[in-house]
């Protein structure tokens, strides 16, 4: 009624210890075989190339999703928009740049667009056009909305004197947020707290 292996009952204990001694060589051979197979498959240049491309794509996509999720702010103030055809939405924080935020809000309320198109090549000419015949104000920067980096900037832009730290800080902040986006990208500007 007992099943024997090496003269020992399989379903009972192994008084000689032979079974235990055979276990490790057998497991070693199985592990070596599995490891050899995995190494042969994984070390293939094709597999390595596919893995690198997949990992790079995943990291880029994850970074993009993180970036776009940090750019928008669900608690920001509602601003009119003509469409949802934008590439990115940025929310100017009123707490960090109060004068810039107020200027943007007033300009949008007076009819300037809240959806803009990046066109960096026209920055210099747009700035020249928007500031033409505007008197400089001591200890102030002249802030433009739409900003000069957008196609909609230039002649007819709203111009207001504000504190240099507010204007330059907001400009640098916006430039950093939009650095990854090419000319032609559509941007929605909103104000948040």
Euclidean distance between CA atoms 138 and 164, whole angstroms? 11
pTM beyond cutoff 0.75: no
Euclidean distance between CA atoms 75 and 67, whole angstroms? 17
For tokens 């192994």, name the residue.
14
Task: List, for residues 63-77, the tens digit of each pLDDT value.
Answer: 766 666 555 444 333
Euclidean distance between CA atoms 187 and 89, whole angstroms? 6
Task: List, for residues 63-114, the tens digit of each pLDDT value.
Answer: 766 666 555 444 333 333 445 688 999 999 999 999 999 999 999 999 999 9
Helices (H) and strands (E) in the chain, counts: 5, 7
CB 190 within 8 A of CB 113: no
């Amino acid at each position: 009624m007992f099943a024997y292996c090496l003269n020992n009952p399989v379903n009972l204990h192994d008084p000689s210890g032979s079974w235990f001694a055979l276990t490790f060589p057998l497991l070693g051979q199985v592990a070596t075989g599995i490891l050899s197979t995995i190494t042969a498959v994984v070390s293939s240049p094709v597999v390595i190339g596919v893995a690198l491309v997949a990992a790079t794509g995943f990291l880029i996509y994850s970074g993009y999703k993180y970036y776009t999720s940090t750019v928008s702010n669900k608690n920001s103030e509602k601003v009119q928009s003509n469409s949802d055809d934008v590439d990115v939405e940025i929310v100017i924080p009123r707490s960090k740049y109060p004068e810039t935020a107020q200027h943007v809000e007033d300009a949008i309320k007076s009819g300037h667009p809240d959806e803009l198109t990046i066109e960096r090549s026209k920055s210099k000419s747009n700035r020249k056009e928007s500031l033409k015949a505007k008197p400089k104000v001591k200890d102030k920067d002249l802030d433009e909305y739409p900003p000069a980096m957008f196609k909609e900037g230039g002649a007819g832009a709203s111009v207001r004197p504000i504190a240099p730290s507010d204007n330059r800080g907001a400009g640098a902040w916006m430039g950093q947020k939009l650095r990854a986006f090419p000319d032609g990208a559509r941007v929605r500007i909103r104000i948040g707290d």
